[in-house]
């Protein structure tokens, strides 16, 4: 019998980093910036949080729960914001090629993460090549005290740390913001047709900067969640895997809708760990095949989405292009 009650929480925990990354990239892409630096930004967001938490754990005699959460949170936001600013400065202000900039940022981000990660491992004089921030992680994982009382329902819906609920809130808020508000309308117009937006007095540069930086911060939170909650506060170099790339693929899967990113990232989270739920004794090869599922589904989705021609499902029309008013 398939154990749904233990499967769903695992799927949720796998899905949340994807959700953060996906929603962050949706903001970015809605402003017309294709940020392939998301994997790097999530990695930097994670190491930012880890560094903050490490310093606090080292220096604080008595750990304060609120500070133990706030310090990593703020250092994570700061680190990923910095990455977003680098991307914006290069692609919006200097109008560099977005693909190249994004890929460079991913390489750079992984390098930065590994450098700081390695340094922290050295500082902590640990025997294994990883840092364990279990105290901080405990605060991040604090769930509602009464979750246990509700049995299966409590386990499926209420057993998570606050970053999980925050990701859902951000996703639904973003959907509302993009669809129903003037800011959303303006942002979409910037990504679709910046010349039009400019002509009616929308500050294209400002929208691109703010949306891309906000997107980076949201994506960075995904990295923080992965380390502090999912991985129980254990950082090891290159431990983040290819979640950043999956998040970018999810953007297309969800046709740029943050609300559909919620079920989509849960689905992908589930597919990601499906192999762990195979009956014991399953052949190794079968396991490897199961591990392929998320990628196969991504490919299949890309095919289906591009076959179904509907203008609303197209990427923002000016995605990947830099905007220059006097360009003719």
Q: Please, are residues 40 and 107 in contact by the beta-carbon 8 Å criterion?
A: yes
Point out which residues pair with 236 in neighbouring strands: 130
Which of 70, 78, 103, 202 is the binder for other proteins (CB under 8 A)? 202
Choose the stretch contacting other proteins; rule: CB under 8 A; options: 111-119, 197-205, 232-240, 279-287.
197-205
Task: Please give the backbone phi and psi of residue 132, each rounded to the nearest 5 degrees, phi first.
Answer: -110, 120
Q: Tell me 25's DSSP state.
A: H
Which of 189, 212, 254, 265 is the binder for other proteins (CB under 8 A)? 189
Using CB under 8 A as the criterion, what x/- string covers residues 234-273 for binding other proteins? Answer: ----------------------------------------
Using CB under 8 A as the criterion, what x/- string covers residues 292-321 for binding other proteins? Answer: -----------------x-xx-x--x----
Alpha-carbon gap, residue 142 to 145, rounded angstroms? 8
Q: Least distance in Å: CB of 151 to other proteins?
A: 44
Choose the stretch contacting other proteins; rule: CB under 8 A; options: 29-37, 75-83, 156-164, 200-208.
200-208
Nearer to other proteins, 59 or 311 (CB): 311
Tokens 């095949």: give the residue.
Answer: 289
Nearer to other proteins, 201 or 281 (CB): 201
Nearer to other proteins, 33 or 137 (CB): 33
Inter-residue long-range contacts of 112-118, CB under 8 Å, 24+ positions, other chains counted: 112/40, 112/43, 112/44, 112/47, 113/40, 113/43, 113/44, 113/46, 113/47, 113/237, 113/240, 114/237, 114/238, 116/47, 116/50, 116/51, 117/47, 117/50, 117/235, 117/236, 117/237, 118/237
Q: Which of 26, 5, 32, 38 is nearest to 222 (CA)?
A: 38
Choose the stretch contacting other proteins; rule: CB under 8 A; options: 16-24, 72-80, 179-187, 271-279.
179-187
Choose the stretch contacting other proteins; rule: CB under 8 A; options: 13-21, 93-101, 198-206, 258-266.
198-206
Q: Using CB under 8 A as the criterion, which residues of the chain lie in contact with other proteins when the complex forms?
A: 180-182, 185-186, 188-189, 192-193, 195-202, 309, 311-312, 314, 317, 325-326
């Amino acid at each position: 019998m398939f154990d749904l009650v233990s499967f769903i929480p695992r799927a949720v925990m796998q899905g949340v980093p994807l959700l953060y990354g996906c929603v962050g990239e949706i903001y970015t892409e809605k402003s017309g910036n294709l940020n392939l630096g998301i994997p790097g930004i999530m990695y930097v967001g994670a190491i930012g949080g880890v560094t903050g938490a490490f310093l606090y754990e080292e220096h604080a005699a008595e750990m304060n729960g609120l500070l133990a959460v706030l310090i990593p949170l703020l250092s994570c936001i700061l680190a990923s914001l910095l990455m977003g600013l680098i991307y914006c400065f290069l692609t919006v202000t200097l109008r560099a090629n977005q693909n190249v900039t994004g890929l460079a940022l991913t390489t750079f981000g992984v390098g930065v993460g590994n450098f700081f990660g390695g340094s922290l491992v050295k500082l902590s004089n640990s025997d294994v090549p990883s840092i364990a921030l279990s105290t901080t992680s405990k605060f991040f994982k604090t769930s509602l005290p009464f979750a246990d009382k509700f049995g299966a329902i409590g386990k499926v819906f209420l057993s998570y740390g606050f970053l999980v609920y925050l990701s859902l809130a951000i996703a639904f808020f973003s959907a509302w913001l993009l669809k129903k508000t003037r800011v959303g309308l303006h942002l979409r117009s910037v990504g679709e047709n910046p010349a039009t937006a400019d002509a009616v007095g929308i500050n294209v540069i400002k929208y691109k900067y703010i949306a891309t930086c906000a997107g980076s911060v949201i994506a960075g939170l995904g990295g923080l969640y992965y380390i502090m909650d999912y991985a129980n506060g254990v950082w090891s170099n290159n431990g983040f895997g290819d979640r950043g790339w999956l998040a970018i693929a999810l953007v297309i899967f969800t046709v740029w809708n943050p609300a559909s990113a919620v079920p989509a990232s849960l689905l992908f989270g589930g597919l990601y760990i499906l192999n762990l739920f195979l009956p014991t004794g399953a052949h190794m090869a079968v396991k490897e095949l199961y591990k392929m599922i998320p990628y196969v589904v991504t490919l299949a989705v890309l095919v289906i989405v591009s076959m179904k021609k509907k203008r609303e499902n197209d990427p923002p029309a000016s995605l990947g292009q830099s905007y220059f008013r006097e360009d003719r």
